[in-house]
Structure 1
Amino acid sequence: MKAYVLLMLILGFCPIMAQQPAEKSVSVEMGEKDLAINQPFVVSVVVRNSTSRPSVQFPELPGLEKRSASATSTTNVVNGKTVLIQTISQQYFAKQEGKNVLLPFEVTVDGTKVKSEGTTLTFNKVEGGAISTENSGEAEEIISSAEDLAAGSIFLSVKVSKPIVYVREGFSVRLALYVAKSAPVEMEFYQLDVQLQNILKKLRPATCWEENVGIEEIVQREVTVGNKKFTEYQMYQSVFFPITLQSVSFPAVKLDMLLLKTLPDGQKKKEVESFYSRPVRVLVKPLPSHPRKDQIAVGNYQLGEKLTRDKVYSGESLRYEFTIKGDGNIATITPPEMAKSMAFDFYPPDVSQTVQRSYEKVSGEKTFGYNIVARQKGNFTLGRFFQWIYFDPVRAKYDTLRSSRTVEVTGENLRASALSGEGADPVYGNIDELDTNVRYIDYQEIIRNLTNAVVLILLGAMVWIFRK
């Protein structure tokens, strides 16, 4: 009897488990292993089925120096289900040419160590004897101001990539401590986690949309400015997009360090010494006059298109993808404007996006996939129906991404369908009639909670049966 009941419980338990969301999976992947000396070896953490960005700490690898990192999130809709993949990548540059044998290492993801196999890297000499210039211009820009260099051999710096931006245009902010190689001191960080929490509260303006890599560790590297060598300890960097016309101010912040000083009698003593950054301000200017300037995206964008077929009979369907790609706040991009049409039925689009966050900019692409049904014969340029306006801050002008594809429809004209209606916008035609006061009910969340409750009941029943 017990076996029969247990079998029934298992049979009931299996379909319930099948309805559970896929478990989060984490893997470590490595990039190319045969490289030129000025090319980075890339280690990536790939996290699937996670709605929150993981906290990742990459190890120090012998013979290699950490440099830039990036975080990419890809969202796709597959068979009605949203699939999210997050990839966090760390670049490592070789200190010298030749072979580098890496033993197995571990990457910490949300406090859990994930193992990676060892490998052998080969770094080859660049033709012509060129040396790596990776980030050299970046270093010059960050600590080239006379005020910083005059601050001495140790200074705290808050730098912005642009002093003036348009509203919704991105700019990067970096917090770093610089210690000259010639500085006759020994020092170490003092209660850094607590200090950083207080510092970042001051450096994260409420009037900006923030995008950052999310790697919670100090990146150390050597830089040369004005024939003087420094060690840079990068503690924070992010990209901000101002959403109001209010100027963005970053106040002076303080960092306490433990300095090891040598007393006259030869003994050493630890003392806390404070270092201060200078306040920084970014001016935000409005966009030029335009009827929709408060909704238009700002950035550098290009158009990508895909069309399943360009010849159809009336009543047949086709699929069209309108992809916006480039540099800017990809996550906030809205669908292209849809002109009213009696020639086609346009169904609401599926949306997928890939956002890459680096230490200097945010880039990626966003795709709107439309299912279209032809209703009238003729030759139609999709540019009549799909166009997307944006503002290019480099050229300081508005531009429009417009489809260049053409569809030929043959056959008899169809009567207006109930979906779109004659002369109506099929997607947004009834939006004014929607009642926004109706409370939204998340049925998926309710079903998930009920499923979890049933699972707990079944587990309890199994325990009770075996104890009898």
Structure 2
Amino acid sequence: MPATLRRFFVLLLLLLADVCPPLRAQSAAEAQADIVLGRTTFPVNEYFTIGFRLRGAALERYSAFPDIEGFKKSSKSSTTTTRIVGGQTSTELTITQRYAAYGEGEFELKPFTMTVNGLTIRSAGGKLQVQPQPAAAPSPAPGAAPIQGLGLLDKLFGKPKPQEFVEPQDNAFLALVPDKTTVFVGEGVHIGLYFYLTPADQGLLSFYNFGGQLPEILQLLRQRTAWEEPFNEQEIVPETVVAGGKTYLRYRLYEAEYYPLNTQPLTFPEIPLQMVKYRVAKKPEAGLDNRMEGFKTYRTVARTISVKPLPPHPLRDQVPVGDYHLREAINRTSFRTGQAFTYSFRVEGEGNLAALAAPVPQLSAGIEVYGPDTETGITRQAGRVGGTKQFQYRLIVRRPGVLALDSIFSLVFFNPATARYDTLRPEVRPQVKGAASSTAFNARRDDPFYQEMLESADNTLQQRDAYTEVLRYANYILLALGALAVFGWWRSGHRH
């Protein structure tokens, strides 16, 4: 075989070995991987690189490359190196991730780990020094020797150049939206913090560390002269709304109901929110992300809610404010004197139920009232706060006849919808049967023991000397037992 032909076949075999490595199963023990870092000092117009080398196995999977603060991920490259030594073929694969620096300065590459084919590889990180872009090199003089150092890959593919990015205009905004601009003292005003953006802006914006920004936002929303009822935290998901004839995606960031405690206005300053805004490549290239992360801060418009005093009323400083209705319940409608029963005064509606105080009973002779037991249920839904608050009392009536509960319980409130005062009064009028009775004992109204015992107490009248008769019979029994004991002792002594 001619020497030229032999050299051709050798080159062909080497080429096939590079493209189609031998189909030999390699165990996980043969596989090796390590991390390769690029130069840590480089100009701003060049890339920093992180890569990994895999030897002894084909690449199956690998974890994501780390993010570096101050850098934007750019393109990736892969290099395969095949070596034949002593008839043995070894293959080395290198995957490289390029990073473009946003600007000059010193940055920290934190320690990180990656997983390649199930192998965990680690890097201790380091300091990255990004230097200014060097001045353009002067053109070589005629006849001068060419500059050395240009690699073969740069000759073939060209040296990677950083992309130019521009910041497009967006239509997003942050808004603090109240449902009223003027309220009465004690009247609720709903405040919602929303972020709006058009569907076309979804690819340009994303939330940045909202959990870390939320405490500062809540501090700015806090009102010292108002009772705040925050809505339950929920997942931030977009909802489609129409504002000004334009369709937006609205993100509900926070909402609460505020109840002013005095006439001082509710003042909300500008609320800032930092978002990630991407800059796009001026000349997009296939295979690249064509975006660069940046930041933009959006701010709300400052808001002031004026607060009006309630109209004149003898109880103006004590009455609750809201739209309330009464739902009452009683465990029986007919009972006897001295028999305990329960009555529930349940307030339903929209308002600051948490601060609503129990009706104070107006007592008269022959009526005892204990309690109340209180139960509150507050519902926050669709920008409204309402629910129920129940006051359960225990009563004992000593005189027969119709019991007018409206003369005992009542609740005066101010309805901001009508700007008028109103009163909740019971309509239940139970019938009390039996003869008039007197109180057997003077129980403490705040003692829970007596409140429970009154439910099961027997109200049957007893003779005043009933306990004297019981004592007499007890003494007779004790004397009989004593005589029996003496007789037994005497009998046992005579037997011996």
Question: What TM-score comes out, normalization by structure 1 length?
Answer: 0.55
Query: Which position in structure 2 is the counterpart of 1:231?
Result: 249
Question: In 1, distance between residues paired with 2:202 and 2:345?
Answer: 59
Question: Which of 310, 322, 327 lines up with 1:304 in the alignment?
Answer: 327
Task: Tell me by how many angstroms 1:240 deviates.
Answer: 1.1
From the superposition, tell whether residues 252 and 372 of structure 1 become closer, same or farther in structure 2 (CA, over 3 Å). Answer: same
Task: State the shift of 1:182 in Å.
Answer: 3.8
- Distance in 2 (CA, whole Å) between partners of 1:418 and 1:275 is 70
Within the candidate set 344, 355, 362, 1:332 is matched to 355
Tell me which moved more, 166-175 or 402-411: 402-411
Q: Tell me if 1:247 matches 2:265.
A: yes
Alpha-carbon distance, 1:183 to partner: 4.0
Structure 2 residue 417 is matched with structure 1 residue 394: yes
Match of 2:343 in 1: 320
* Amino acid across the alignment from 1:261: R
Q: CA deviation at 1:359?
A: 4.5
Q: Matched residues in 1 for 2:272 and 2:215: separation? A: 12
- Find out whether 1:377 has 2:400 as its counterpart: yes
How many angstroms apart in 1 are the aligned matches of 2:341 and 2:320? 28
**Paired AA for residue 202 in structure 1:** L
SS of residue matched to 2:197:
strand
Q: Find 2:237's aligned residue among 219, 224, 240.
A: 219
Deviations 1:189-208 (A, max 9, x none): 12212222211110121221
Question: Cα distance, 1:427 vs. partner?
Answer: 7.3
Could you tell me which runs of 5 or more consecutive residues in structure 2 were left unpaired when the two chains were aligned: 1-168, 285-289, 448-496
1:190 alignment counterpart = 208
Where does residue 371 of structure 2 map in the other structure? 348
Q: Find the counterpart in structure 2 of residue 288 from structure 1.
A: 311
Query: How far apart in 1 are the matches of 2:171 and 2:425?
Result: 54
3-state secondary structure, aligned to 1:325: strand
1:304 CA drift (Å): 0.5
- Of 330-339 and 293-302, more deviation after overlay is shown by 330-339
**1:167 aligns to what?**
185
**One-letter identity of the residue aligned with 1:169:** E
- For residues 314 and 268 of structure 1, do their structure 2 counterparts lie closer, same or farther at Cα, with a shift above 3 Å needed? closer
* Equivalent-residue separation in structure 2 for 1:170 and 1:366 (angstroms): 17
Can you list the C-alpha shifts for 1:363-417, whole angstroms capped at 9, x where unaligned? 1111111111111122221101011111100000110000111122222222356
Aligned to 2:452: none
Deviation at 1:185, TM superposition (A): 5.5
Ranges in structure 1 where 5+ consecutive residues have no aligned partner: 1-150, 429-468
Q: Trace 1:193-212 onto structure 2 (pairs within 5 A).
A: 193-212=211-230
Distance 1:427 1:286, change over 3 A: farther
Secondary structure of the equivalent of 1:200? helix
CA displacement at 1:418 relative to structure 2: 4.7
Of Structure 1 and Structure 2, which has the larger fraction of its residues in strand? 1
SS in 2 for 1:229: strand
Q: Distance in 1 between matches of 2:382 and 2:262?
A: 23
- What TM-score results when the alignment is normalised by the length of structure 2? 0.52
Do the aligned residues in 1 keep the contact of 2:411 with 2:423 (CA within 8 Å)? yes
Alignment partners' CA distance in 2, 1:300 and 1:278 = 31
**Counterpart of 1:68?**
none
Shift in CA distance, 417/391, structure 1 to aligned 2, threshold 3 Å: farther
Please tell me whether the aligned partners of residues 175 and 195 of structure 2 are also in contact (alpha carbons under 8 angstroms). Answer: yes
Change in 2 beyond 3 A, CA 1:191/1:254: same
> Does the aligned pair in 2 maintain the 1:346–1:427 contact within 8 Å?
no
1:264 to 268, 275, 282: 282
Distance in 1 of aligned mates of 2:211 and 2:385: 26
C-alpha distance in 2 between matches for 1:177 and 1:365: 33
Residue 227 of structure 1: how far off its partner (Å): 3.3
Paired-residue identity, %:
30
CA distance in 1, matches of 2:305, 2:170: 25
Aligned amino acid, residue 367 of structure 1:
Q
Partner of 1:5: none
Q: Which residue of 2 aligns with 1:363?
A: 386
Query: Which residues in structure 2 correspond to 1:31-180 (within 5 Å)?
Result: 153-180=171-198
Distance apart, 1:265 and its partner CA: 3.6
Aligned partners of 1:171 and 1:361 also within 8 Å: no
CA distance in 2, matches of 1:420, 1:336: 21
The number of aligned residues is: 274
- Secondary structure of 1:194's counterpart equals helix
Alignment check: 8 A CA contact 2:399 2:436 kept: yes
Higher relative contact order (CA 8 A, sep 6+): 1
Note the aligned Cα RMSD (angstroms): 2.2
Q: CA deviation at 1:420?
A: 7.7
Matched letter for residue 230 of structure 1: Y
Which residue identity does 1:167 align to in structure 2? V
Assess if the C-alpha contact under 8 Å between 2:170 and 2:201 holds in 1: no
C-alpha deviations, 1:98-133, integer Å up to 9, x for none?
A: xxxxxxxxxxxxxxxxxxxxxxxxxxxxxxxxxxxx
